[in-house]
Each structure stands twice: as C-alpha cells, then as structure tokens.
C-alpha cells in the first residue's frame, strides 16, 4: 500500500459571497511532516534528525538543500545516498515522510537536536553571532555575478508568478525561483514553508550543478529576512530579490557577504540595499551603478 500524499488535497467547504452560501469542493495545499535522518554510515542510529512541515514533492532536493544551508555538507559528492524509509515497525505503510541521508564527512561541530535548524527571526539568536557563525563555517563573500539589466529585474516577479502552478490552484504557497542574469528561469519551487521553497531550490542546484551553473538571482515571493540572505550566501547566489521589505539583519548580511539585495520589487519600482555594482540601470549609461542617488518618493517604502 502506497501512502504517498500529493502536493494538493481536496476539501469540502461552504462558500459565502453575499447571499446565498453554497457547498463546493476546493483545493488546499498539502502540509505533511518530513523527517530528515542524517547518518555517516558507521552506525545504525542517525547522527541527528530534523522534522519540518512541507508540501510533498522535491523531497530529496529539500533534504539536500537543508543540509547545505545548515553547513552539514558543502559539496554534492558528500551525499552518498538518500532514500525514503518507513516509520515504526508497527506501521508497515510507506508514508514517504521520512528520508534517510547518508553523508560522507558531515560537519557536526556544536550541533544538538535543539540547535539543528537555520536561525530564524523568533529564535533569539544574536545578529552579530549569526554573521560570525557563517564566517566560522567557511562561507566567504560572493564575488562572482555578472551585471543584470534593470529590465530583467523588473520582470522577476512575473517570471516567478507565471510558474506558480500550485499557488494558482490553492492560493496558499510560498514561491522561489532561480533565474539567470539574462532572465532565463532555471527552476521554481513552491511550498507551504517559505524556508522549504528556498531549500528545495538550493538542493536542486546542488544535485544538478551543470544546468545550475549560471544561476544568478534568487527571487522569492515574500519579505527578505536574514534566512534568505544566509541561504543565498551559502548557495553562492549573488543576487537576492523579493516583492517585500528586507530586515535590517538581511541587509547587514548582504553587505558583509557581497550580495546584491533588492526589495519592494513591484513593476518598474524597486530598492537596492546592497551590491549596486551588479545592477545596470537605464539611466546609468554603459556602467553599472556604484552608488545610487536619493530614491524618488514614490520608490520609498512607507515610514
């Protein structure tokens, strides 16, 4: 018996739009737990486990991207094998909710079950300590990255939105895209968890290094928090863009690790918070912008 869940699930609802109400079927984004078990092959017991709530699909990419973002691995060849496994012996049904990952030479320094997660806004981690932790892991500033025309940047939200098929059906998913500097979309992933959508992209790039070699831009559907900047730095993606605001720590990290950070990207309006040299503006002649003039009032975010 196969217990695999799809990325969307049906539900019976009562729809209300004035008078009268009516009953109908609707699609929901599936939310299921995924347990990632990390081992080095030397013991039957996992070194650590991590549980996340995710939308089923691209689960191996999610596991690989999570391990990369956490610093457990740095190269794709460190993953010896990944496989789905069943839960307790009492339940023989394969639920596809547990992945076992055998890793060569994992970096487990200072890791415990309580610590094994990406630092998030609510975890109480000091911002300065968060930046230092990335440096201690050996993450270096991103110096690569070609110039990107303003016209490509303006198209990013559309390029992502046009490919959010599950969002169109359910209306309840975060989206992230990897795009080249010329505006070619390499991959798009969706998930109920915004972290998971980006981790799936990192995993795709890690497991498919040749087609992902030209990745230049990480475009996300929500606000730009520290976590996104961290994942872009670890994934060696020079440009991070989003439709909403960045946090102060995201800007600090982007500046320290050489990222181009673009927020409030809506139509032909956006703010560049760091890495201006990678953006070729229409009014900058033949040279990319090294410093921006004060933004017009219509481009500023509300105070």
Catalytic residues: 123
Adjacent-strand bridge partners of 224: 246
For residues 178 and 185, is the Cβ–Cβ distance under 8 A?
Answer: yes
Buried b (16+ CB within 10 A) or exposed e, 184-216: ebbbbbbbbbbbbbbbbbbbbbbeeeeebeebb
């Amino acid at each position: 018996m196969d217990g695999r869940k799809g990325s969307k699930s049906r539900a019976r609802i009562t729809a209300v739009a004035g008078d009268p109400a009516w009953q109908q079927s609707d699609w929901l984004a599936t939310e299921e737990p995924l347990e990632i078990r990390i081992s080095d092959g030397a013991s039957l017991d996992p070194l650590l486990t991590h549980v996340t709530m995710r939308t089923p699909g691209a689960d191996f990419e999610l596991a690989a991207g999570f391990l990369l973002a956490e610093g457990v691995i740095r190269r794709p060849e460190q993953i010896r094998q990944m496989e789905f496994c069943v839960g307790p012996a009492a339940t023989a049904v394969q639920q596809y909710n547990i992945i076992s990952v055998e890793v060569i030479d994992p970096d487990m320094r200072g890791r415990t079950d309580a610590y094994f997660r990406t630092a998030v806004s609510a975890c109480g981690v000091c911002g300065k300590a968060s930046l230092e932790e990335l440096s201690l892991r050996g993450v270096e500033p991103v110096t690569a990255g070609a110039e990107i025309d303003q016209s490509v940047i303006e198209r990013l939200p559309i390029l992502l939105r046009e490919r959010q098929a599950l969002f169109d059906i359910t209306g309840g998913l975060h989206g992230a895209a990897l795009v080249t500097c010329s505006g070619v979309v390499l991959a798009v992933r969706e998930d109920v968890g915004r972290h998971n959508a980006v981790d799936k992209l990192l995993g795709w790039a890690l497991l498919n290094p040749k087609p992902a070699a030209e990745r230049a831009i990480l475009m996300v559907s929500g606000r730009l928090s520290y976590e996104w900047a961290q994942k872009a730095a670890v994934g060696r993606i020079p440009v991070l863009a989003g439709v909403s605001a960045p946090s102060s720590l995201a800007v600090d990290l982007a500046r320290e690790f050489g990222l181009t950070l673009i927020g409030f990207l809506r139509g032909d309006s956006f703010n560049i918070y760091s890495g201006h040299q990678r953006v070729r503006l229409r009014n900058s002649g033949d040279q990319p912008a090294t410093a921006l003039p004060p933004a017009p009032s219509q481009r500023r975010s509300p105070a």
